[in-house]
Every structure is written in C-alpha cells, then in structure tokens.
Chain A
Amino acid sequence: MQTDSWIPLFPESASSFSWQVDALYFYLIGISVAFMIPIVAAIFWFVVRYREREKFATPDEIHGSIVLETVWSIIPFVISMTIFLGGAVVYYTQYRMPEDAMQVYVVGKQWMWKIQHETGQREINELHVPVNTKVKLTMTTEDVLHDFSIPAFRTKADVVPGRYTYLWFEATKPGTYHLFCAEYCGLNHSGMIGSVVVMEQNDFESWLQGNASNLTPVEQGRDLFENKLGCASCHAGGSGQRGAVLENIYGKEVKFVGGSSTIVDDEYLRNSILNPSSQVVEGYQPIMPTFKGQVTEEQLISLVAYIKSLSGVDASATAPSAPAAPAPAPANNMGSNSNQGGR
C-alpha cells in the first residue's frame, strides 16, 4: 500500500488521472528550481562580491531599469499562465463527472463514513470498488462538513450538509489505499479514516455476492415511496393524482410558478422533498408538506434513486433498465403534466 523506503517521499499513484496531478507537480517543482537557482546564486554572488570594503561607502547609484522590470513582470506572468492552464485541465478531469460511472452513495457523519452500493451493500469506513471502472460518489453529511479524500487517487471533495457533492475516480491498481476525512469535523476528526479497497473485477463480483440479501437503494426507495412515507398516495395515482407525475421527469426542464425553470437533477429532487413549496411547478398547488426531519440522508438517497429509476435512469453503467416506466406512455412527460394541471 505504501512505499517501503525509510523516508517515503512519494505516495502511491493509483487512479486514471493521478499521473496528470503528478506531472503538474513535477512541472511546478521544475519551475521552482529554475527560479530558485538563479536568484539564490545571484544573492550569494552579490553578498560575497559586493561585501562592505569601506565603512559607510557610497556605491554608485542605480535607479532601476524599465526594460528589466518589464521582462521580469512578463516572464513570471507567462509562466504562471501555463501553470494556470495545466491546473485547469487537470481540475476539469477531476471534477467533471462522467455519465457512465458506477454509482456509490456516501453519507458522512461524526466520525464515520457510511457507504452504500447500488446493489444494496453497506459498508462503514471502507469502500470496495472494482479496478478499471469509473466510480461516481454522491455524497452528503448528516451533521458538519467533512471531506472525502483519497491521496492515492489525487482527489478529494468536501461533503456539505444540506446538499450533494460529487467525486469520481477510476482506480488503476488493485490494493488498499488511505481514505481520510480532510475537513476538520470536531473531536475525533483524525479517527475518521478508513480505506478504499480496489479489487479485480471478479473479486469484486464475489464480494458483492457475499452480501446479496440487502435491498438496493431503488428497492428501498420504492418501499419508502409506497409504504413508509406514503408518497404514492399523491404521486402514483394515474389520472386523478394531485401531485406531479414523476415518470420520465429526470433530466427534463420544469417551469416554476413565477417564470424560472430548472433541469430536474438529484439536487432538485432532494430539495423538492425537503422544501416542496420553495419551487412549485407551474400548474400545481403548493400543497405538498415538507419531509424535512422525517427522512434521513440515507433515505433521501434511496428516494432519489427510486425516482430516477422511474425515468429509466438507473445510473449504473452496466445495467440500464427502466423498471417502473411503462413503455407505451408518451403522454407522461412534462408537457402533458402542465396540460393536466391546467385543466
């Protein structure tokens, strides 16, 4: 897992973009050395060569030089722009989420990481992932800020209460890597550590089989939707229902009372459950009660996963399916929703 040298100088590099971060790091070390050597050499040279030979001497004045000032303003500026651009490219790779990634849900809590796979496996402070597979983490926290940091993958992201943040990686080497909470979160912050276990595809499959009795997030979400929280009484009643039809809304645009609009995504769904009256869709009455305080973050993740599945978004790259959306139902889109409400 870690280098065996007496003084480890360099961390394991184990994700698809970690080499880019390393390359940027070495580029910057190169730049730094290239700046330091001439400046430090000049300082030493001047200090020795022009040391005081007569007390209170008055060496000839040199006022400065516009040419030099211009040169040594422009060169650092140009170099800093290359650093900026390099950083921007890497950042874009790190933080632009891939469409075809395996989904994992993460909930931070003082002082543990609760992780759930799409197949229903739950783990605490351990994340098992297959090698050479894109993995996207959807993360939130029950209490304070945390930060999901995997140094060997050269990435991290803060986990923020009240919203979702995302992280993705593609591990390239099987092994066990450090998982740290990198945002200070109180008493046992330094105990909020764990490991990311990268497994060969086959090993991962059999690891998954080992816990097959759990419900998947979609199944849990369906249970909450239909039974525990009673969402179905307004949202799954066919023509007579009072609430919005949820089939096939994911990724569509919705228009709000007042004129603004948004694209339906995880954040929007989450917010619609917690603060339904904050964004009333045109054609509906603001009658839905808030579910704030009645659902946990983990239940929210399951609910959002279920609602997404109604739009055929299984989010899993391997098994796209549309369990609940009846195929011959072209009227079930946002346009018809508005018409329905208008009647």
Chain B
Amino acid sequence: MKTKLSLLLFFFSAFMIESCVSKTPTHKEKLDLQELTKNQPEEHGAEVKPGDIQLTYPLNDQWVTEGKSIYDVKCSSCHKLTDEKLVGPGWKGVTKRRSPEWIINMVTNVDMMLEKDPVAQRLLEDCLVRMPNQNLNRDEARKVLEFQRKNDGE
C-alpha cells in the first residue's frame, strides 16, 4: 500500500511539474553546443601517415631558407642545432633518428603523438615540457624538415 501511495504521489507531482514546462521554447534552429565542443576548428593538421611525405633530392634551397626563418621565430627557443638539449632535444641527427612522418606529426599534431607514440611519450618524460603547438601547417613543417636535413649535412 505504501509503495502504491508513493507511486501515486510521484505521478501526481510529476504531472504538476510537467504541466508547467511542456511548452516548447521558441528556438528556430536547434542549438547543438555539445557538438561544437568536438568540432571546433583546430589549427592542428590531420595525422601524417607513412608515405605521405616525399623526400626530394637535392634539397630545395628555398624551403631550407624558409624553414630556417620559421626555426628562428618558433623553434630556436627550445631546440639547438647541435646535439645539446635545451628545453627540447638538440636537432643534430634528428632526421637520421626519426622518420619524416614522425617529425611532421610531432610539429603539427603534438596531442596525438603524446597520446599514442611511445618515443614522444619518453621524450616528454625526459624534458617535462610538452612540445608546444607552434601553429605550423603541414607545408611549413615540411620546410622546417628541409632545414633539419640541411642541418644534418644532407
């Protein structure tokens, strides 16, 4: 009996509440904000897959020059051109240690790399500073790679 009564009371109060809120709001378009949380335009590029980056020979001199200017503004604070570690590892030999795709992803897609790439994760443990997203697009990252190749004596 007690249960029945509670149920009844429950329905009764539910009805009372419902009767006051059932009118629909006047929005014309449905706002789907939670969708927006996932779809915010991100400067970061898509993942670069093996084979996506073509190395060309000889080096593209213009890319080397442009890559160097990008390095001066956005990378040199943390990466030396020698093998000396500053905030991040020195760049000497980086094009021998890592694949072109690894380097481009590290530049343009840090979050993804730190989430799933064991080498990137180990580097974070060493440096304790997340590699920042310096807002380079894939083309710019490619030019930096050309500059790194030059730095490695190619």
Chain A complexes with chain B: no
Taking beta carbons and an 8 Å cutoff, which residues of B are in contact with A?
none
